[in-house]
């Protein structure tokens, strides 16, 4: 067994990624110099924010500061006052605001959805205010231009306002956009704001989360917020969208639902500390990056199936898709040579996708790594009752808890894949709580930074997404002119 165990109980089991027929000790030994250099570069990024070759969208040198986020400190992006302000904001909503709608897409949505799913689950918005401890209902929008869902969400809120007796129905719209002008976010926000403002018995307020720059670099959202007097939170300089869950971007959702910000950042901080050793066998982010990088480069495993077991972890897969795709999917390396690097991420969830994707993982091309996530201990865990003792097949599973069944299924999946030389690995979270979630998400973010170094690509830009935007902008103008 090859398992790296942290003092918190978080583990990385890479037994099925390492050894004969997998990434070998020889492969790792041959890459030792590269791993050392990658580690030095990441340590330099930590202390100075400087990453070789990284430029902003405007071609200016730009610092990378996400490793600062776990540390709440005076003068840091997450300062004690900043966190206090977030908590006060969350507290100010309790028993006062009925509904929050969070508008955002990509890095301004995916992490927020993770926090919501893990903390609130599917049925939160059906619960009473008391059951939600006074926190408002919370919906997401802006992550598409879907006319039907946008319309239905607004209709639903308006109906709730109609039904409310006495006090007006209070809605807070949180508009999150680093660039401050993303099409989906701004379009759906404007549609919703206009309709909600016109609804009787409904009071609507707006909060903006955007780049705080003023002057010539001021974002459109910042300008609007300033002119309209909306309260603002920041997407700090040096924190890219896909790394922003630990900043005010993600933490504002945490504040709105009473998710434990301190524990979440403490988990991220513990992981950051665990990743400071240059011994790759004991550095979870470097070890993960090294094995996946070598798996891709030497063995052609350039698809990553991200497969947590448990419904509410599916959004972690979706968050990871953006992290991996935008960070490592690069045409050129930092020396300007074409490399077409990056694993293609695939979102999956167990056990569900064992009945949909596993056929391909088991029998398709040997070009994948399956990354499992497992939760060791669940807060609630119903036991399958012996309801039909005379039906042998059902009696056989009686007495087993659902989580035991789920873990047995994951183990069987991992074993079956490993038995046919199909690379896989498992992260285990002792429990599904803020601390361990912080550990996991931070580990993934840092491993992507390491892999950028190993592959010599800029993990912090996303030039490819501008290509379609350059076509879309003029096309939207043409549509407007036709009217």
**Stretches 175-183, 329-337, 359-367, 388-396: which one binds ligand G6P (CB under 6 A)?**
175-183
Whether the CB-CB separation of 202 and 177 falls below 8 Å is answered with: no
Q: Which of 408, 465, 472, 476 binds ligand G6P (CB under 6 A)?
A: 465
Q: Does 108 bind ligand G6P (CB under 6 A)?
A: yes
Nearer to ligand G6P, 38 or 110 (CB): 110
Is 345 a binding residue for ligand G6P by CB under 6 A? The answer is: no
The answer to whether residue 106 forms part of the interface with ligand G6P (CB under 6 A) is yes
314 is known as an active-site residue? no
Q: Does 241 bind ligand G6P (CB under 6 A)?
A: yes
Contacts of 479 (CB under 8 A, 6+ apart): none
Q: What is the DSSP string of 345-396?
A: EEE--BTGGGGTTHHHHHHS-S-EEEEEEEEEE-S--PBPP---TTSHHHHH
CA dist 113 and 188 (Å) reads: 17
Q: Does 452 bind ligand G6P (CB under 6 A)?
A: no
Q: Given the complex with ligand G6P, which of 13 and 318 has the nearer CB atom?
A: 318
CB of 216 to ligand G6P, least distance (A): 18
185 near ligand G6P, judged by CB under 6 A: yes
155-161 long-range contacts, Cβ below 8 Å, gap at least 24? Answer: 157/99, 157/101, 157/196, 157/202, 158/195, 158/196, 158/199, 158/202, 160/98, 160/99, 161/199, 161/200, 161/201, 161/202
Going 315 to 322 to 60 to 104, the CA torsion angle's sign is negative
Residue 326 annotated in active site: yes
Indicate the residue among 180 and 284 with the shorter CB distance to ligand G6P: 180
Please say if 469 is a catalytic residue. yes
Q: Which stretch binds ligand G6P (CB under 6 A): 128-136, 178-186, 408-416, 472-480?
A: 178-186
- Residue 182 touching ligand G6P (CB under 6 A): yes
- Asked if 326 interacts with ligand G6P (CB under 6 A), we say yes
Angle, CA of 80, 84 and 87, to the nearest 5°:
145
Q: What's the CA gap between 348 and 306, in Å, rounded? A: 6
Q: Does 105 bind ligand G6P (CB under 6 A)?
A: yes
**Which residues belong to the active site?**
326, 355, 469
Task: List residues binding ligand G6P (CB under 6 A).
Answer: 105-108, 177-179, 182, 185, 241-242, 326, 462, 465
């Amino acid at each position: 067994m090859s398992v790296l165990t942290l003092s918190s109980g978080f583990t990385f089991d890479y037994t099925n990624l390492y050894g004969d027929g997998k990434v070998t000790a020889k492969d790792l030994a041959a890459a030792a110099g590269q791993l050392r250099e990658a580690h030095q570069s990441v340590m330099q990024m930590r202390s100075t924010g400087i990453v070789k070759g990284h430029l902003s969208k405007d071609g200016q040198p730009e610092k990378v500061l996400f490793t600062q986020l776990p540390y709440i400190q005076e003068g840091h992006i997450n300062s004690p006052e900043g966190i206090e302000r977030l908590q006060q904001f969350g507290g100010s909503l309790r028993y006062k605001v009925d509904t929050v709608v969070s508008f955002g897409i990509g890095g301004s949505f995916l992490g927020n959805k993770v926090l919501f799913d893990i903390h609130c689950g599917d049925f939160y918005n059906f619960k009473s205010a008391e059951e939600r401890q006074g926190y408002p209902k919370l919906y997401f929008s802006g992550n598409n231009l879907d006319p039907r869902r946008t319309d239905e969400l607004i209709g639903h809120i308006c109906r709730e306002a109609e039904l409310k007796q006495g006090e007006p129905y209070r809605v807070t719209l949180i508009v999150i956009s680093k660039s401050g002008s993303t099409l989906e976010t701004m379009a759906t926000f404007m549609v919703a704001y206009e309709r909600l403002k016109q609804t009787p018995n409904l009071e609507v307020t707006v909060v903006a989360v955007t780049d705080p720059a003023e002057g010539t670099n001021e974002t459109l959202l910042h300008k609007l917020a300033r002119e309209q007097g909306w309260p603002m939170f920041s997407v700090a300089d040096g924190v890219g969208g896909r790394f922003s869950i630990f900043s005010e971007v993600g933490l504002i959702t945490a504040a709105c639902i009473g998710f434990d910000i301190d524990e979440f950042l403490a988990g991220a901080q513990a992981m950051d500390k665990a990743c400071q050793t240059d011994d790759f066998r004991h550095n979870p982010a470097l070890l993960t990056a090294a094995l996946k990088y070598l798996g891709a480069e030497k063995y052609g495993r350039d698809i990553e199936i991200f497969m947590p077991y448990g419904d509410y972890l599916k959004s972690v897969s979706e968050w990871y898709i953006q992290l991996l795709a935008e960070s490592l999917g690069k045409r050129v390396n930092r020396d300007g040579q074409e490399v077409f690097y990056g694993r293609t991420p695939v979102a999956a969830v167990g056990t569900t996708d064992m009945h949909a994707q596993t056929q391909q993982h088991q029998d398709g091309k040997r070009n994948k790594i399956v990354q499992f996530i497992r939760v060791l201990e669940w807060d609630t865990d119903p036991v399958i009752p012996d309801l039909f003792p005379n039906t042998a097949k059902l009696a056989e599973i009686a007495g087993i808890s659902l989580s035991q069944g789920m873990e047995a299924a994951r183990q069987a999946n991992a074993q079956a894949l490993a038995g046919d030389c199909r690379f896989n690995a498992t992260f285990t979270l002792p429990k599904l709580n803020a601390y361990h979630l912080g550990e996991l998400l931070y580990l993934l973010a840092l491993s992507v930074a390491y892999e950028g170094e190993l592959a010599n690509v800029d993990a912090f830009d996303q030039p490819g997404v501008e290509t379609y935007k350059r076509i879309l902008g003029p096309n939207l103008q043409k549509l407007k002119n036709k009217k």
